[in-house]
């Protein structure tokens, strides 16, 4: 009898859980969760994970593959390894502090600085960001070089990319460097992205629980749209919200993500 009750209980539990036979991104980028996430290794060809103690290095398989593929491209181009910061928690959902997005395992932050000379776990835990914008003069700093442009270019050319958020001045520099390249459309100006860029992938094909973001307007975005951002020099992020961001999550997420 106890064995039969155990089977019934297990069947009931699994019927309540989302299907995790394959990986799932559930909900929207800023209100969702993920199942069957994979961890990005702390180090690999062309990349290092920073601040690993936060355990924010989990993503959907397509994102983990994207980051590892980008790392290989950097090695082939003889560029320095990239520093990968926040991706998502193992089950996604909102962080205790920081971003509003990064909830479905399809977002990743990549720092624009080069790695420190020593890349031990301890060194990568306390590595500091390098701002590529002089906000008082509103110009790019000398630290923004061709290797940063190449890194962003390689990141943007993958068709899995929906958007890459960069500071308006960085978008302007990319427009000047790459003319009318079609992938420039994926670079979206957004304040607060002067020391890193934020990669967002499309919902994986066939993932019906994932809520896609609206398509960006056609064109490179290097004209009037960018000019409006460049002319607005006041848009910098403050210290962040005074309390944690807590959106209403999809029903599939509510049982498994702590709020």
Query: What are residue 189's DSSP bridge partners?
Result: 166
The answer as to whether 256 is a domain residue is: no
Angstrom distance (rounded) from CA 76 to CA 15: 46
What pLDDT score does 4 carry? Answer: 40
What pLDDT score does 19 carry? Answer: 44
The answer as to whether 164 is a domain residue is: yes
pLDDT class of 8 with cuts at 50, 70, 90: very low
Paired sense of beta strands 161-166 and 187-189, if any: parallel
Counting the structural domains of the chain, the total is: 1
The answer as to whether 2 is a domain residue is: no
Give the SS3 label for residue 247: coil
| DSSP label of 214 | P
| DSSP label of 210 | B
Query: pLDDT tens for residues 230-257?
Result: 998 776 655 455 567 788 899 989 877 7
- Sorted by sequence, the CB contacts under 8 Å of residue 6 that are 6+ apart come out as none
pLDDT class of 34 with cuts at 50, 70, 90: very high
Cβ-in-10-Å burial (0-12, 13-18, 19+) of 24 comes to buried
92 torsion bin: left (phi>0), alpha (psi -120 to 50), beta (else) = left
What pLDDT score does 47 carry? Answer: 98
Angstrom distance (rounded) from CA 185 to CA 44: 29
Query: pLDDT tens for residues 130-153?
Result: 999 999 999 999 999 999 999 999
The answer as to whether 175 is a domain residue is: yes
What pLDDT score does 100 carry? Answer: 86
CATH number at residue 199: 3.30.1380.10
Query: pLDDT tens for residues 46-99?
Result: 999 999 999 999 999 999 999 999 999 999 999 999 999 999 999 999 988 778
The answer as to whether 171 is a domain residue is: yes
Average pLDDT over residues 202-228: 94
What pLDDT score does 246 carry? Answer: 80
The answer as to whether 106 is a domain residue is: yes
The answer as to whether 130 is a domain residue is: yes
Average pLDDT over residues 201-220: 93
The number of angstroms, rounded, from the C-alpha of 50 to the middle of its chain's C-alpha atoms is 14
Share of the chain above pLDDT 90, in %: 78
The answer as to whether 101 is a domain residue is: yes
Task: Indicate if the pLDDT at residue 13 is higher than 50.
Answer: no
Average pLDDT over residues 147-167: 98
User: Average model confidence (pLDDT) for the chain?
Assistant: 89
Query: What are residue 24's DSSP bridge partners?
Result: 35
User: What residues make up the domain containing 69?
Assistant: 25-233
């Amino acid at each position: 009898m106890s064995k039969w009750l155990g089977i019934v209980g297990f069947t009931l539990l699994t019927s309540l859980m989302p299907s995790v036979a394959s990986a799932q991104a559930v909900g929207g980028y800023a209100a969702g969760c993920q199942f069957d996430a994979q961890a990005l290794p702390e180090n690999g060809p062309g990349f290092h994970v920073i601040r690993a103690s936060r355990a924010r290095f989990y993503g959907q398989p397509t994102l983990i593959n994207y980051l590892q593929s980008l790392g290989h491209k950097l090695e082939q181009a003889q560029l320095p390894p990239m520093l990968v910061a926040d991706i998502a928690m193992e089950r996604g959902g909102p962080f205790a502090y920081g971003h509003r997005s990064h909830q479905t395992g399809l977002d990743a932050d990549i720092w624009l600085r080069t790695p420190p000379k020593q890349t031990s776990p301890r060194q990568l835990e306390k590595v500091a960001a390098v701002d590529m914008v002089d906000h008082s003069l509103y110009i790019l700093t000398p630290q923004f070089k061709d290797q940063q442009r190449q890194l962003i270019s390689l990141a943007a050319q993958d068709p899995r990319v929906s958007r890459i958020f960069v500071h308006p001045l960085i978008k302007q520099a990319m427009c000047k460097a790459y003319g009318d390249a079609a992938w420039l459309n994926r670079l979206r100006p957004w304040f607060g992205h002067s020391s890193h860029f934020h990669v967002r992938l499309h919902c994986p094909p066939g993932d019906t629980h994932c809520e896609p973001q609206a398509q960006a307007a056609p064109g490179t975005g290097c004209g009037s749209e960018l000019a409006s951002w460049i002319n607005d020099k006041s848009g910098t992020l403050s210290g962040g919200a005074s309390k944690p961001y807590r959106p209403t999550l999809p029903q599939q997420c509510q049982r498994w993500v702590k709020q």
